[in-house]
Amino acid sequence: MKAILALEDGRTFPCQSFTGPGETGGEVVFNTSMTGYQEVLTDPSYSGQMVTMTYPLIGNYGVNPEDIESDKIQVSAFLVREYQGFPSNFRSVSPLADYLQAQGILGVEELDTRALTRHIRDAGAMRAFISTQDPDPSSCVEQAREIPSMVGQDLVKNVTTHVPYYWRNGKPVFFDSKNISLDRNVWKSKREKYSVVAFDYGVKYNILRCLESQGFEIVVVPAATEADTIKAMEPDGIFLSNGPGDPEPVTYAIESIKKLLDYAPLFGICLGHQLLGLALGGKTFKLKFGHRGANQPVKNLLTGRIEITSQNHGFAVDTDSLKGENIEITHINLNDNTLEGFRHKEYPIFTAQYHPEASPGPHDAKYLFDEFKAMIKKKKK
């Protein structure tokens, strides 16, 4: 089925839908990972975005129920060069097209993804519109221009959980609000395990798996949970998750974090890193085309080691805005020298802009979860 992809700057690309008729819009971005398309599709940090895979053949290993990073597909559309509808993998349970169709997500192929990627790289990530129903390029361009800009939008409210839950044995166990309240009695293994509250700004499941592998008892709370509620729970540590979009409009999260800076050890990843930066007085800005893929080089300034990392973000913290006697820059991106991590010298706080849990991607930075546990252990002594 013929389709057209129209960008807000007027450029259009012919393509074909492999999921049937439909139309949708969002910010169009590209991901350079060679594998892991199912994890990309279900990453809440992609809310409001159409993802282009630079690797040319997608769908060859199908999909399965184990490689998901949230409870549903999060992208607004999936753009590939060539779709393979006959997967060959012992873990596959269905073709990718069936998975997309079941959730009403448009997938297109026969798209010149190399040209699109080069265009985004030069002109920047931008709004776009796809349609199988409207063949008029100018009409589709106008619809792309009517899509709200990513800047200034609070997308966290679209992906956060509305009900707190335990993370146990690799799965969410949702609270029965009649029997469980958010206070110190919420913990079932307080004496045997360190307790961690995880703010859900769009958390990936593999982050929670990594926290659980450290032996933590984990309670995941909605993004708008207030600081007083967290203090009533008396956790040993606080985790700030990844999430989509612009961090500046997520003012309720920033205000809660400010009140928790000196309360318990804090670890922020991706959006959590950015929100911590804002809470400490820093500023954020939108990257031209973002960092999305599993091969981003990061230098650990504390050890001198180079880590190959998995990343997915379109905003960054301004390094100069964070400079102060209590802030130490710990990691930088070697492609563009943007900030990838910092720590506080007075409070037990540290962050990573990239994804140490990977999924997909390398595990060079998984040690950060060990450091979080060590920080909690030190605080408890």
Q: What local confidence, expressed as pLDDT, does residue 135 receive?
A: 85
Mean pLDDT throughout 84-110? 97
What is the distance between the alpha carbons of residues 299 and 307, in angstroms, rounded to a whole number? 6
242/348 same-domain check: yes
- Decide if 134 contacts 323 (C-beta within 8 A): no
The reply to whether 132 and 162 lie within a common domain is no
150 belongs to a structural domain: no
- Which pLDDT score is estimated for 101? 98
- In this predicted structure, what is the pLDDT of residue 325? 81
Residue 349: domain span? 156-380
Residues 133 and 282 in one domain: no
Is the pLDDT at 181 greater than 90, yes or no? no
- 191 with 47, same domain: the answer is no
Question: What distance separates the 2 farthest-apart alpha carbons in the chain?
Answer: 67
* Of 119, 291, 344, 355, catalytic: 355
The span from the CA of 224 to the CA of 248, in Å, is 14
Q: What pLDDT sits at residue 311?
A: 96
Q: Does residue 177 share a domain with residue 79?
A: no
Whether 180 and 126 share a structural domain: no
Question: Are residue 213 and residue 261 in the same domain, yes or no?
Answer: yes
Confidence of residue 204 (pLDDT cuts 50, 70, 90): very high
- Say whether both 59 and 118 belong to one domain: yes
Assigned domain for 17 exists: yes
Final residue in a domain of this structure, among 111, 126, 145: 145
In the listed set 145, 174, 201, which residue is the last one of a domain according to the structure?
A: 145
Number of domains in the chain: 2
In terms of domains, do 165 and 101 share one?
no
Given a contact cutoff of 8 angstroms between Cβ atoms, the answer to whether 164 and 175 are in contact is yes
237 lies in the same domain as 340: yes
Residue of 15, 140, 210, 270 with catalytic role: 270
Q: Which residue among 92, 111, 145 closes a domain?
A: 145
Q: How far apart are CA 374 and CA 62, in angstroms?
A: 39
273 tagged catalytic: no
Q: Is 210 a catalytic residue?
A: no
| Domain at 110, CATH number | 3.50.30.20
CA 53 to chain centre: 16
Q: Determine the Cα–Cα distance for residues 340 and 75; give it in Å rounded to an integer.
A: 24
* Residue 357 known to be catalytic: yes
- Do 129 and 183 fall within a single domain? no
The mean of the pLDDT values for the chain is 96
State the pLDDT at residue 136: 92
Confidence grade of residue 256 (pLDDT, cut at 50, 70, 90) = very high
**Residues 8, 39, 217, 357: which is the catalytic one?**
357
Q: Are residues 67 and 98 in the same domain?
A: yes
Q: Among candidates 166, 289, 257, 272, which has minimal Cα distance to 219?
A: 166
Residue 346's CB: how many other CB atoms inside 10 A? Answer: 10
**Residue 151 within any structural domain of the chain:** no
